Chains A and B, each alone.
Chain A
Amino acid sequence: MIFQTILLIALGILMLSILANMYRVVKGPSGADRVQALDSIGINMIASIAAYSVLFHTHAFFDLILLIGILSFIGTIAFARFIERGVVIERKR
């Protein structure tokens, strides 16, 4: 009972963290601030899914944790290349 209460408090704190990152996404001065805030939102989603898995006594979401990590990594690299060079995939050297 007390353990579930602690998990719910942790989920509320993660929700507040995602909301703070959403403020930075909406009101970032440059594009790089928005990209870093979106990457941080992905990491907070990973932590939220882990807390939910402990709360529901299931291990069906563990693949989803690794998959969100991979997709967040690739998306951040693509956005960084677009900001720096204007071309995501180079055609010729």
Chain B
Amino acid sequence: MYTLSSKLRLTAIIFMIVGAIGLIYGFIAAPETVEEVKEMMASHGEHGEEATDHAEKVNVEQLPGGNNAALHTDEENHTNSDSMNTEANQTATASDSTETETNHDASASEEDTTATATHAQGNMAHEDHEEGAAAVHGEDHDGGEAHGAEAEHGDEHYEHILQQLQNKPWAALYVAAFFFFMISLGVMAFYAVQYAAQAGWSPVLFRVMEAITAYLLPGGLIVFLLLVLSGLQLNHLFIWMDPDIVAHDEIIQNKTAFLNVPFFLIRAAIYLGGWCFFRYLMVKNSRKLDNADVDDLYYFKKNFKLAAGFLVFFIVTESMMSWDWIMSLDPHWFSTLFGWFVFASLFVSGITTIAIISIYLKSRGYLEFVNDSHIHDLAKFMFGMSIFWTYLWFSQFMLIWYSNIPEEVVYFIQRIEDYQLPFFGMLATNFLLPVLLLMNSDYKRVNWFVIMTGLILLFGHYINIYVLVMPATVGESWFIGIPEISALLFFTGLFVFIVFSALTKAPLLVSRNPFIEESKHYHY
């Protein structure tokens, strides 16, 4: 049996207290009126102008001739995109213009269409920054009205910033809550996969997995609570929950059959209830299996069937969960592989957490039956799933970048413009480093190496969720400051407390599992 060391408990509690204090500070420090925003911005330099600069830059870079130094001036940019095209084309083909003259006309006319499209989209991004919350989320379907409103946009800009800053502590809380919840959900999926696949190597790790999934219920309730609070209009994380915005937004109006608060909460309750119920049954059976007769596989078979059922339920609900809880933050945008993308993130974070906690427990002498081969296998999963995540990240990005359809591409323009470092930094933490560090078979057996890579990976996937949530909620006002770090601290403490308390509830080695002997002697 595992006993929770008082040191660990104290650390977890300190983390929670410090995090809670920081979060409360974050909520208090958030501005409440436009005047406060103006004051804050005055002390931080002219942020407003920067924002407009940004918008202009979108325009330039999206044009085919974008980076040509000669074309960088604003008047040209705005007045005649047609002439720019021809110019761009000429520069491109200058080397042998005679030969390509015939091509020239055809390609120029082709380009015209692209140029108009991209230009239009540039304008949209422009409006994004200028018009306040109503149009934040991209394609402006009733552009005429919005333009009329622009005359009085002086304060609107500040109101826009105000809303972002008010969202900041909420979004920080939401990102951290979802991140830790998704870890335990990922572990639950992994646990079910191990049962359904009848894996022979992993039963010695089952108790660690069961303990991590203990966070599923409390963590899920916290996320649910945050969704309820959003539904009660206490924050503006989900703009489609705001009737004023929906009233002027035809795109969201057409989605209200799916995106309405009661149905949204019912769905969330179904996902959470289902996952927690499966988790409860499987852990209960696993405990009963410990005391079963030698050849009694009743509970094992039951768990096998439950695992298969869970995986079917999970893949449907997980996909819908990612539309609901993350994609609907940008209600104008959609992507078909989004559910998989979120799944990859939660799966790899879950596996990494299993590895880190197992190595920790092993180093404390609690898991003597876990050998380097088990760690090696977990590290292989971390390696493979990191590549899987990158594959989905890139597939989503590249398909949208390549076709460059305005209504889709605003999503990435916003992220590249405002979130350049986290957006591309993720590739280093979630792909390059894990791939290079975990490629060598020997390194996968070096425990501290796996821990370090695992921490990098977890950090990277926190950033992943951050970049999924923040642009839609706080836009360009993002910063990883006190609210974000506090939320992370708070949930780290809570997660550690719940998981390690759960570890004390049952022996760390399952018995009577038909694969346990094989697992104990597993050798790779």
Q: Is B a genuine binding partner of A?
A: no
B residues at A contact (CB < 8 Å): none
Q: Please report A residues at the B interface, Cβ cutoff 8 Å.
A: none
